[in-house]
A = this chain, B = another copy of it.
Amino acid sequence: MIKAGIVGATGYAGCELVRLINSHPEAEVSAISSVSFEGKKISEVYPSYIYLNDMICENADEVVRKSDVVFAALPHGLSQELAAKCKNNGVKFIDLGADFRLDSEDEYKEWYGGEFLDKALHEEAVYGLPEFFREDIKGKSIIANPGCYTTCSPLALAPAVKNGLVELKGIICNCASGVTGAGRKPVQGNHYPELNEGFHAYKVASHRHTPEIEQTLSKLSGEKVTLTFVPHLLPVNRGILATCYADIKEGVSFSDIRKAYEEFYKDEYFVRLLPDGMCADIHNIKYSNFCDISLHHDKRANKLIACSAIDNMVKGAAGQAIQNMNIIFGLDEKTGLDIIPPAF
């Protein structure tokens, strides 16, 4: 059994890791930590866990000490030091935060305001979006697990972008996320009566996931991509829908695009390319690691409209982190993640 430790276990991504690893046949939760709840049981924070997982939150050092792999679900800026500790202890490190996601320190500075504390460490880190970078992930010890929007949007666009079927200029990612994406801390805007029955955009064209989406699409296309990303907040618990728009290149037919998607994703268990006529719906992937993709053609404007749906807490966070763990430990990638999403 892989001993999996979780630093920051009482945040939403952390507690989801606990739940998923609990069902994993080859891994077990070895230790958990929380700054806010040190000394408390995780089931005091999340009563749905009572009697099933009553582990006590320790500190991060204990977690490192007891684990073969450490997952970190921390505010940005705090993972780099922890990664170094893990490295020194021969412990694999999977970071659900943003610290290792951007290759460019300049971009990191611009969007997050901090610096790369240990440049060598950043060199070692690999971006853990398995559908695109599986071969790079194998055998690595520091994985930057992608964010939620930054998983969902590139999955919607990758085959078109990689194969040069759409214009790279003018791409729009119009996304909507469930509230868990904003974390556990109660804030006015996510207070039930103020969010319920509402819907609005936020951080319009200024969200930190922008450079990360661009980085992935740039890698796939081989050219620098600049795009427009607008997130919205949905009155649901889980799920992200990305509705992505791109101009189809002259001479490319929609059926060329469909074929490219089929080819690109033909061996990807977690990507479900839906038949024509269906629309990706966050309702259909809840609690699972699947990404549903539907393709649509605006014939009048000759645009590709690609919709993708993921559970922000699973494929957008904890599930993908486990997928990465499976890869680096040589397990079948879907181990512990091969459930059917509930129908309601």
Within the assembled complex, what's the spacing in Å between the Cα atoms of A309 and B12?
23
Select one of B184, B194, B197, B313 contacting A238, CB under 8 A. B197
Flag whether A286 is at the interface (Cβ < 8 A). Answer: yes
Cβ of A16 and Cβ of B343 under 8 Å apart? yes
| Residues in chain B near residue A300, CB distance under 8 A | 205, 210, 226, 228
Count residues of A near B (Cβ-Cβ below 8 Å). 89
Q: Is B192 a contact of A19 with CB atoms below 8 Å?
A: no
Residue of B nearest to A202 (CB): B279
**How many copies are assembled?**
4
Which residues in B have their C-beta under 8 angstroms from that of A292? 50
Residue of B193, B297, B299, B301 touching A170 (CB-CB under 8 A): B301
A contact residues vs B (CB 8 Å cutoff): 12, 15-16, 18-19, 22-23, 46-53, 170, 172, 174, 176, 178-180, 184-188, 190-202, 204-205, 210, 226-228, 230, 232, 234-239, 241, 243, 245, 247, 272, 274, 278-287, 292, 294, 296-301, 303, 305, 307, 309, 313, 339-344
What are 22 A-B contacts with C-beta separation under 8 Å?
Answer: A16-B343, A47-B274, A47-B284, A49-B340, A52-B340, A170-B170, A184-B188, A184-B191, A193-B344, A199-B282, A200-B281, A200-B283, A205-B301, A205-B303, A205-B305, A228-B300, A230-B305, A232-B243, A238-B344, A287-B287, A287-B342, A313-B344
